[in-house]
Structure 1
Amino acid sequence: MNKFSHIDVRVRSLQDALPFYEQLLPALGFNRTFHSRDWRVFAADGELPSAPYFAITEDPEHQPSSHLTGFWAEDRAEVDRLAELVSQAGGHIESGPQLFPISPTYYAVYFEDPCGNKFEIVHRLN
């Protein structure tokens, strides 16, 4: 059973960040939206409330930290494809896509959203 429930992300500006997430999140499988006045919610397949979801809200005072959220990719080609999408959607690639010395097959890209929140997309065999 997958114990993942959701991620809540704060951004300084929905206007700056939402176009990025509208491109990235469906590519990661968060393809249904449940938006409200204060939250933009992108859900994966499944029945709510148990379906995993990614929620975004605006906080003009938000300061990004070194916290990192990682997403799984099925193979290296998906890491490469999603890295290109991140760049085209307005994200900032910090490093990769490449192999990292975490394990012999750890292939990842590290990036930031337009507001500086940190993410990773990774594929590894062991």
Structure 2
Amino acid sequence: MNKYSHIDLRVNQLESVLPFYEKLLPELGFTRTFHSENWKVFAAEGELPSAAYFAITEDQEHKPNANLIGFWAKDQAEVDHIAKVVKESGGIINGGPRLFPISPTYYAVYFEDPCGNKYEIVHRLN
């Protein structure tokens, strides 16, 4: 069983990063929205609260750090596609997409949102 439930993400300027997430998160399967005044919530298929979701709120004091959120890709083409979406949406590519020496089939892209939160999309066979 996948124990993943949700992410509560802080960003320092919600208005400036929301367009990035509005393009990226649906590509990752978070296709439904449940927004409120203080939270922008993107949910995967399924019934809440058991459906996975990604919630974003503004904290002007937020300082990005070395934490990294990783997502699986079904194949290398999906990794390439997400890298393209990141570039087109104002994100910063930090590495890849390419094979990394973590394993012979570890194909990934590392990137940041416009305020510096770090992510990885990876496909690997072993």
Whether TM-score is above 0.5 comes out as: yes
Q: Equivalent residue for 1:79?
A: 79
Distance 1:31 1:98 in 2: 27
Residue correspondences, number:
126
Is 1:107 matched up with 2:102? no
Which AA in structure 1 matches 2:42?
Answer: F
- Once the two structures are superposed, residues 56-110 of structure 1 have per-residue CA deviations (whole angstroms, 9 ceiling, x without a partner) of 0001110001000001100000000110000000000001000001000000000
1:65 aligns with 2:61: no
Q: Structure 2 unaligned runs (5+)?
A: none
Q: How does 1:36-75 map to 2 (within 5 A)?
A: 36-75=36-75
- 1:64, 1:107 → 2: CA distance? 25
Residue 88 of structure 1 aligns with which residue? 88
Q: Partner of 2:22 in structure 1?
A: 22
What secondary structure, in the 3-state scheme, does the structure 2 residue paired with 1:86 have? helix
Post-superposition offset of 1:2:
2.2
Letter in 2 for 1:34: F
- CA-based RMSD of the aligned residues comes to 0.5
TM-score by length of 2: 0.99
CA-to-aligned-CA distance 1:31-58 (integer Å, 9 cap, x gap): 0000011100000000100000000000
Structure 1 unmatched runs, 5+ = none
Identity %: 72
